[in-house]
A = this chain, B = another copy of it.
């Protein structure tokens, strides 16, 4: 699609990843190989290769001779991911603030302003957001957070951060489907941005932790609500 789709397996990997992260493929659902091969119009070989790579991203799990599933979501894992993400993200941001040069500042500013342009007229009370606008926000949010840490000078930190961001995104998408409006997430982004530009690493990391924990809290509530909804209408045997 966008970048390096030299091979069919590559393209399928990206498509599948997107469909899992944004929830089009439900968490925990069985991935029927034949069906997927048809949907994505590929043969078994590229499909299996894509699935194997997604296992490394912790988006797919497999069991011996029984097939593949979309990795399940759970409240416990949400807490786990959120905590580790905070650790990695603050470490990376700290390093970036230490190492970042003028070019980095420009990139962060550009990413922030692009994000701000979307966030400033977000519905505060509405319960639904046009999917297209949601995709734009997701992309710019991802870009902003990526830009912040891009000067960390540590490929490994950046790689792990990307992995954890993706995990978080899956959870966040769940809550966006049931959320009763947007909290003033823009203020939080601005606080992180300002502290970063002032090279106030301590404050920037604190604001980041706050931002992450608030997001996690929101997801937690949404998931709890969802599981209540799941239990109530369903009957026991």
Do A65 and B6 touch across chains, with their CB atoms under 8 A apart? yes
Total chain A interface residues with beta-carbon distance under 8 A: 33
Residue in B44, B56, B58 whose CB lies within 8 Å of A55: B56
The interface residues of chain B lying within 8 Å CB-to-CB of A50 are 52
The interface residues of chain B lying within 8 Å CB-to-CB of A58 are 159
Cβ-based interface call for A49 (8 A): yes
Stretch at the interface among A79-87, A122-130, A139-147, A171-179: A79-87
Q: Which positions 47-83 of chain A face chain B at CB distance < 8 Å?
A: 48-50, 52-53, 55-58, 63-65, 77, 80-81, 83
Residue in B7, B10, B48, B164 whose CB lies within 8 Å of A45: B48
Cα distance A214–B42 in the bound complex, in angstroms: 49
The interface residues of chain B lying within 8 Å CB-to-CB of A53 are 52-53, 55-56
Do B6 and A156 touch across chains, with their CB atoms under 8 A apart? no
Known: A6-B65, A45-B45, A64-B7. A156 touches B52 (CB 8 A): no
Q: Which positions 132-161 of chain A face chain B at CB distance < 8 Å?
A: 154-157, 159-160
A4-38 near B? 1/0 per residue, CB < 8 Å: 10110110000000000000000000000000000
Q: Which positions 83-103 of chain A face chain B at CB distance < 8 Å?
A: 83-84, 87, 91
Cα distance A159–B80 in the bound complex, in angstroms: 11
| Chain B nearest CB, measured from A10 CB (Å) | 8
> A82 — nearest CB in chain B belongs to which residue?
B156
| Chain B nearest CB, measured from A221 CB (Å) | 22
| Chain B nearest CB, measured from A29 CB (Å) | 21
21 contacting pairs across A/B (C-beta < 8 A): A6-B63, A6-B64, A10-B64, A44-B45, A45-B48, A48-B49, A49-B49, A50-B52, A52-B52, A52-B56, A53-B53, A56-B57, A58-B159, A77-B156, A80-B154, A80-B155, A80-B157, A81-B156, A83-B154, A84-B154, A84-B156
